[in-house]
Structure 1
Amino acid sequence: MPEMLIDNNNISTQDSAPCPIYTCQISNKNEIKVEQSCTVCMESKPCIDFETQYNSDCTHSTRTICNSCTYEYLRNNWNIGSEISCPECSIPLSHNAIKLILFENGDITLYNRYIQFELNRILEQNLEFVWCSHGCGSGQLNEGATMNNTIECVNCHKLTCFTHKCPWHDGMTCEEYDMPRYFVFSYEIILGDKKMKQEK
């Protein structure tokens, strides 16, 4: 006997109509499984795989993509510093939604990376915060901001220019560093001539 599919009030056999998205599959009198077909992997999954509404701002009332495919979409589109949109309605996923998807799928590594990214984003909103420009991964608060432009990294002890967020331009003030390169080159020649005269 073919498996019976129930779609609302319409009953058909598996040999006739195609399988609808929402099905109630009856394999015997004692076992009933409610499933939904994912629009990405096309596999039938338990309806619980579609229940969590990750993003309150989304425009779709129900989900058609299963948890596994949503996670794979997030993992494959991971790009630190850019927004990740909902795969169903293109609304940007909130930070809480991203953390929930990663946590539910047990990706602790990417979850921790995202937590670190979120922390860094909050720190960068502080106008007195600066990253080391030498790539050691350290950052620190600079009390007084541009009043103190020369920042010594607490980790590698190299100097960073707070204004330009680059390695400290030794021998030049920030104003001189902002000058067009032609004038800077001329200034360096003049400075070199003065130094040579002083040494004589």
Structure 2
Amino acid sequence: MSNLYDCTFCFEDEGRDFRKITSKCVHRAVVCTECVRKHIETYIEKQLVEVPCPTNGCTKIMERHDIKNFTTDKNFEIYDSLAFKLAIHKIPDFRWCKALCGTGQIHLGKDETPIVICQTCNAKSCYTHKVSWHEGQTCEQYEENKKQTDFATKDYLSRISKPCPNCSMYIDKNGGCNHMTCKCSYEFCWL
């Protein structure tokens, strides 16, 4: 028979620390702090910032200070940075520098004045297309060239390759028989 204080994840009780998991939870902690830490790290590795309480049946989301209480300083820094980046992406007029200097800014000119000049490194980017500035082209010209390039790429791919009937990844045939095996493990006949 299991101890009332066994961790529901690792089933250990000896030397395990149990404490309230979130500031919102009202239940008794049934997951040890070590397993809560591992639970949080799994979410951070998947780049998810909404970390639910690991207790079965509890749907409470852990707050920032709850995460800080259970994880290492290094993992909390990763979590905090990810949470910041996800929050900043929700601002419609925010653009990251396309020169990858690591900064970004809100561009108030929107599509009417599409050139965004980075306040840190002075690199130019296009607000509308979210790419480095297409020097010598208006946004309309860039859009037209992009359509032509996309068409040419699709035409080229259709001549040298075929999409896998299972996953649609393009495959080219470089010799041998017509029996094809895709990276998704699906097998089909080239003909």
Q: TM-score range by the shorter chain?
A: 0.5 to 0.7
Task: Report how many residues are paired.
Answer: 149
| 1:125 and 2:90 are equivalent in the alignment | yes
Q: Secondary structure at the match of 1:68?
A: helix
Q: What SS class does the counterpart of residue 109 from structure 1 fall into?
A: helix
Q: Secondary structure at the match of 1:44?
A: coil
Give the CA deviation at 1:148.
Answer: 1.8
**Aligned 8 A contact 2:95 2:106 in 1:** yes
Per-residue CA deviation, residues 66-94 of structure 1 (Å, 9 max, x unaligned), is: 12101112113313356444434487763
Residues 66 and 182 from structure 1, CA distance in 2 versus in 1: closer, same or farther, beyond 3 angstroms?
closer
1:73-112 map, 5 Å: 73-78=39-44, 79-80=46-47, 83-89=50-56, 94=61, 97-105=62-70, 107-112=72-77
| 8 Å CA contact retained: 2:6, 2:13 | yes
Query: Structure 1 residues 109, 48: CA separation in 2 closer, same or farther (over 3 Å shift)?
Result: closer
**What are structure 2's unaligned runs of at least 5 residues?**
153-191
Percent identity of equivalent pairs = 21
Counterpart for residue 193 of structure 1: none
Residue 194 of structure 1 aligns with which residue? Answer: none
Q: Distance in 1 between matches of 2:50 and 2:111?
A: 30
1:37 corresponds in structure 2 to 6
Cα shift readout 1:47-80 (whole Å, capped 9, x = no counterpart): 961x414174x7x944432121011121133133
Name the structure 1 match of 2:20.
52
1:181 aligned partner: 148
Distance 2:150 2:36 in 1: 55
Kindly tell me: are residues 73 and 81 of structure 1, through their superposed partners in 2, closer, same or farther at Cα, counting changes over 3 Å?
Answer: closer
Q: CA RMSD in A?
A: 3.2
Match of 2:112 among 147, 167, 174: 147
**1:10-67: per-residue Cα shift (whole Å, max 9, x none)?**
xxxxxxxx3x231xxxxxxxxxxxxx11122221157961x414174x7x94443212
Once residues 54 and 129 of structure 2 are traced to their aligned partners in structure 1, the CA distance between those partners, rounded to angstroms, is 38
| Higher strand proportion (structure 1 or 2) | 1
CA distance in 1: counterparts of 2:80 and 2:109, whole angstroms: 28
Q: How far has the Cα of 1:163 moved from its partner?
A: 1.2
Cα distance, 1:172–1:100 mapped onto 2, change above 3 Å: same
Does structure 2 retain, via aligned residues, the 8 Å contact 1:83–1:92? no
- Counterpart code for 1:40: F
- The answer to whether 1:66 aligns with 2:32 is yes
Corresponding residue number in structure 1 for 2:178: none
Q: Distance in 1 between matches of 2:82 and 2:76?
A: 10
**Distance in 2 separating the partners of 1:145 and 1:90:** 45
TM-score for both structures, normalised by structure 1: 0.60
- Runs of 5+ consecutive residues of structure 1 not aligned to the other structure: 1-17, 23-35, 186-200
